[in-house]
Amino acid sequence: MLQPLSKDAIGEEYSRDLCVQDYSKKPTIEGVQLINLSHFVDDGGSLAEIVRFDDGGNLQLIPEFKVKQITFSQVLPGTIKAFHLHYNQEDVWFILPYDRMLIGLFDARKGSPTYQSTMRFVMGAGRAQILYLPRGVAHGMANPWSHPGNMIYLVNQCFDANQPDEQRLPWDTLGADFWEIRKG
């Protein structure tokens, strides 16, 4: 019969470094929504419905969001695209389920109850999700893996190169290690 072990049963050179990973639910930024979508997989492939629109042209899952532009972007391995925020624009991101992207966010809105809060998570990786980013939430992504990552994003403002609603911050605003793969 198997007997449980205690920390004393582990060699001293290892037991002093033992710890337990934090599995608690991570805090979110006010207004940010990560919405799981249905992702159907069968022997012929897969299907995920990204968005539905109501009769007024708004997203059904986020009724206050009216799409003005849809864009595709590919992020090559080793690339970091961060940080930027918008004064007027809001984004909805979709990372293709079989790609993988490291997402980084922080709340730059000084009047927000989650001011300066951060979020860091992976999108794609077999999941179908959309991410809603309210204006004023600084956002970026990195691809520290070996294959390109693809995303489709929807915005509620058309891009205007003469008056871009895109404020940029340094990629390492949260520290260069923010974008590294966590070891352990």
Q: What is the pLDDT of residues 123-140, one digit of tens each?
A: 999 999 999 999 999 999
How many helices (DSSP H) and strands (DSSP E) are in the chain? 1, 12
Report the amino acid identity of residue 159. F
pLDDT at 16: 86
As to burial, measured by CB atoms within 10 angstroms (0-12 exposed, 13-18 middle, 19+ buried), residue 138 is buried
Q: Is 153 buried (19+), middle (13-18) or exposed (0-12) by CB count in 10 A?
A: middle
Sheet with 149-155, strands from edge to edge, namely 33-36, 129-133, 91-95, 149-155, 69-75
Q: What pLDDT shows up at residue 58? A: 92
Mean pLDDT by 10 residues, the chain (184 residues): 88 88 90 95 94 93 94 97 97 97 98 97 97 98 97 96 95 96 84
Q: What pLDDT score does 183 carry? A: 82
163-175: pLDDT as tens digits: 999 999 999 999 9
Domains along the chain? 30-158 (2.60.120.10)
